[in-house]
């Protein structure tokens, strides 16, 4: 007897990030690979107190099954946190925003449906969408935003796209942020071509100098699904995220959620609701911003110092967790990776983040997980690996 895989299973691929995370567990490796928040930012004491209070005041309910929509108090808190008027009835608590991506895929994608994505984009979203067998159309962009003529051309290519997936703030993997004028122009174009948007915003609160422009969803709630997460501002281990969907879509997303896991853990939802209750995030998030800003600066300084004489380019993200770099001509980040790991440093090659044309010279560096000392050492190791592998002319 043998098993026959479903068609969709052939479209499933291992996450390059998760595979590299295994390597980084080896002792001595400095990792710029995973988007793992700095453990220094985890509010262990606040959770210890919240945990005691939840068990004391609400223990049996916290240990019981709960509603698929999520805990009413947490849905109200999420709605109140968002910068536009949101009815808590439109908030669905998800098991990480990764689950939000999976639910969106199940509800909106048929085999062969066209789905527009930025090129590059978050590879975990590609991984969530791919099993539903969409046809991806990757739309080029630059530091400012999506290339609108490329978007119009993509829209004109075939049947209407089911949606475009967008990361306007401190994008994963490039760290880029869409400007205000680019948001306005993008929404005008999306309206003109009848394109719904799925906006993923796990990094929006992690700005360094000034808050990013308002979310796309705040301006067109009826044609946007908004995904958010507590992973980067509280703890990824709790697996708590949320989505905001227009009334016409919400029931189907809820049914997909019921089938996926009945509900997000009651205990975790109550813990977070308890932590949020007295405005904790308003005190906590500024400390994360300050830490990550200092770490970004440390990485920029280290790159300037260590990459001297090498034709490596990088950007200066205004927030979030990632910096995007490009190796000298003739190099390939995937080929460089084992040499870097040999020297004790890891990163994620850029190619898997591309659904369309991939630039093999690109790579993603997270500046938040490593300490400043590790950043200095890790970038020195990376530069040594680049020097060893660079074609002669560039070295
Ligand atoms: O809310 P959660 O924790 O499920 O986050 C998923 C997620 C959704 N959308 C974007 C744009 C994201 O960047 C993420 C999380 N990304 C991390 C990364 O490194 O790209 C996940 C790394 C952790 C892992 O795969 O183990």
Give CA–CA dist 345/190, Å, rounded. 41
Domains and CATH numbers, the chain: 7-42+282-389 (3.90.1150.10), 44-279 (3.40.640.10)
The alpha carbon of 265 and the centre of ligand 1 are apart by a number of angstroms equal to 19
| Tens of pLDDT, residues 23-48 | 777 889 999 998 899 999 999 999 99
pTM of the model as a whole: 0.96
Query: Ligand 1 — pocket residues by CB below 6 A?
Result: 15, 17-18, 21, 34-35, 96-98, 122, 124, 167, 172, 200, 202, 229, 231, 236, 241
Contact 315, 143 (CB under 8 A): yes
Instruction: Name which residue sits closest to atom 19 of ligand 1, judged by CA.
Output: 35
Whether 394 shows a pLDDT value over 60: the answer reads no
More confident residue, 186 or 157: 186
**What per-residue confidence (pLDDT) applies to 206?**
98
Residue 392 tokens read as: 């002669």
Q: Distance between CA 76 and CA 72 in Å, rounded?
A: 6
pLDDT at 145: 87
pLDDT for 161 equals 97
DSSP assignment, residue 391?
-
- Show the tokens assigned to 263: 């509900």
Please list, in sequence order, all residues whose beta carbon lies within 8 angstroms of the beta carbon of residue 285, skipping any fewer than 6 positions away: 205, 206, 233
Per residue in 219-271, pLDDT (tens digit) is 999 999 999 999 999 999 999 999 999 999 999 999 999 999 999 999 999 99
- pLDDT for 21: 80
């Amino acid at each position: 007897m043998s098993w026959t895989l479903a068609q969709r299973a052939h479209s499933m691929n291992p996450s390059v990030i998760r595979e590299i995370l295994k390597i980084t567990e080896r002792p001595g490796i400095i990792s710029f690979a995973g988007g793992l928040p700095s453990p220094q930012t985890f509010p262990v004491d606040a959770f210890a107190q919240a945990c005691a209070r939840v068990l004391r005041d609400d223990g049996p309910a916290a240990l019981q099954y709960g509603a698929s929509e999520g805990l009413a108090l947490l849905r109200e808190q999420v709605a109140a946190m968002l910068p536009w008027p949101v009815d808590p009835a439109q908030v669905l608590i998800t098991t990480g925003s990764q689950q939000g991506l999976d639910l969106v895929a199940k509800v909106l994608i048929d085999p062969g449906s066209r789905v527009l994505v930025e090129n590059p984009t978050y590879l975990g979203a590609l991984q969530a969408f791919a099993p539903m067998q969409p046809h991806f159309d990757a739309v080029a962009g630059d530091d400012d935003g999506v290339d609108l003529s490329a978007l119009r051309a993509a829209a004109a290519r075939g049947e209407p796209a089911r949606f475009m997936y967008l990361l306007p703030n401190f994008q994963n993997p490039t760290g880029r942020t869409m400007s205000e004028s680019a948001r306005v122009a993008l929404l005008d174009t999306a309206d003109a071509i009848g394109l719904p948007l799925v906006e993923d915003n796990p990094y929006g609160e992690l700005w360094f100098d000034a808050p990013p422009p308002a979310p796309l969803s705040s301006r067109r709630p009826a044609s946007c699904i908004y995904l958010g997460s507590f992973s980067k501002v509280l703890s990824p281990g709790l697996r708590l995220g949320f989505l905001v969907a227009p009334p016409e879509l919400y029931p189907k997303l809820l049914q997909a959620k019921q089938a996926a896991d009945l509900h997000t853990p009651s205990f975790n939802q109550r813990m977070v609701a308890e932590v949020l209750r007295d405005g904790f995030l308003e005190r906590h998030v500024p400390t994360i911003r300050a830490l990550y800003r200092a770490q970004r600066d440390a990485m920029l300084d280290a790159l300037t110092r260590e990459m001297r004489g090498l034709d490596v380019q990088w950007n200066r993200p205004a927030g979030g967790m990632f910096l995007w770099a490009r190796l000298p001509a003739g190099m390939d980040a995937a080929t460089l990776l084992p040499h870097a790991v040999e020297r004790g440093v890891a990163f994620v090659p850029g190619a898997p983040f591309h659904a369309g044309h991939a630039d093999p010279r690109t790579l993603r560096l997270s500046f938040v997980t490593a300490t400043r000392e590790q950043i200095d050492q890790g970038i020195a190791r990376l530069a040594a690996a680049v020097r060893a592998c660079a074609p002669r002319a560039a070295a």
